[in-house]
Amino acid sequence: MEVTEALNFDHGDRKDIYEYIESHGIVREEDLRRSLNFEPGALGAHLTVLRRDGYVRKVDDKLEVAYQRDDAETHEADDGTEYTIRMAQEVDLDSLVDAIREVAEEGTYIEAETVADVVDHEEVIIRHNDVRSRMFFVATVGDELVGWVHLDLPETTKLSHTAVLTVGVRSEHRGSGIGSALLERGIRWAREHEFEKLYNSVPATNEEAIDFLASHDWETEAVREGHYKIDGEYVDEVMMAVELR
């Protein structure tokens, strides 16, 4: 199932089951049964339909949303380091939050800080429901998660052609092309799923991020004066965007 796919359930119980799994990321079947108070036979019948329709899948004794998994891509950084970009998985949760917080704690990427807070609170990486969805790709060097690209996807019809993107790389891995590859992967995914425009907002003090996005054809669309208050100082927000059409 694609993260952008319309959700359509022909039975209220199956909708409840999907929403429980979607909001928890990965759950044990017995925990699901007890939480929703299903008889084993009834739950099994509903899960059979949900698996058939491509909404959920079973991995050992656990259930997860059956998101379509994009192929992992192997790259070579400018310094010769080999790294992989792939769709994030629930097992990446702690490492992903750590990486986002490390970048956010530099104090110049407020949007990333918000993303880290939300993911850490929900304890689920990829989401797809009737209100809002999100996608993550991560970059790894060996077993280390070194960067991410995130797309926040509104389900509101009047905004469904747009998405908000954040991207970041741990400081020790910057300057080697990993950030550019992550950005390109996020943009490619958005274009493949017919999004028309992406946004990213950063404080005006984050000149490195502004220059990075500008070098990839992003343009400054608006500036909100004094939108942030960082270390007691009012800082402008630079709202940047890129057209995908």
pLDDT digits (tens, 9 = 90+) for 125-144: 999 998 889 999 999 999 99
Residues 149 and 207 reside in one and the same domain: yes
Confirm if 237 and 202 have CB atoms less than 8 A apart. Answer: yes
Which domain CATH number covers 55? Answer: 1.10.10.10
The tens digit of pLDDT for each residue in 185-211 reads: 999 999 999 999 999 999 999 999 999
Encode 128-167: b = buried (16+ Cβ within 10 Å), e = exposed.
Answer: beeeebbbbbbbbbeeebbbbbbbbbbeeeeeeebbbbbb
Residues 41 and 137 reside in one and the same domain: no
Could you tell me if residue 27 is inside a domain? Answer: yes
Which domain CATH number covers 85? Answer: 3.40.630.30
Residues 60 and 93 reside in one and the same domain: no
What is the percent of the chain with per-residue pLDDT over 70, rounded to a whole number?
98
Could you tell me if residue 228 is inside a domain? Answer: yes
Structure tokens at 61: 């004794």
Report, as an integer, the average pLDDT of 39-68: 94
Could you tell me if residue 41 is inside a domain? Answer: yes
Residues 43 and 89 reside in one and the same domain: no
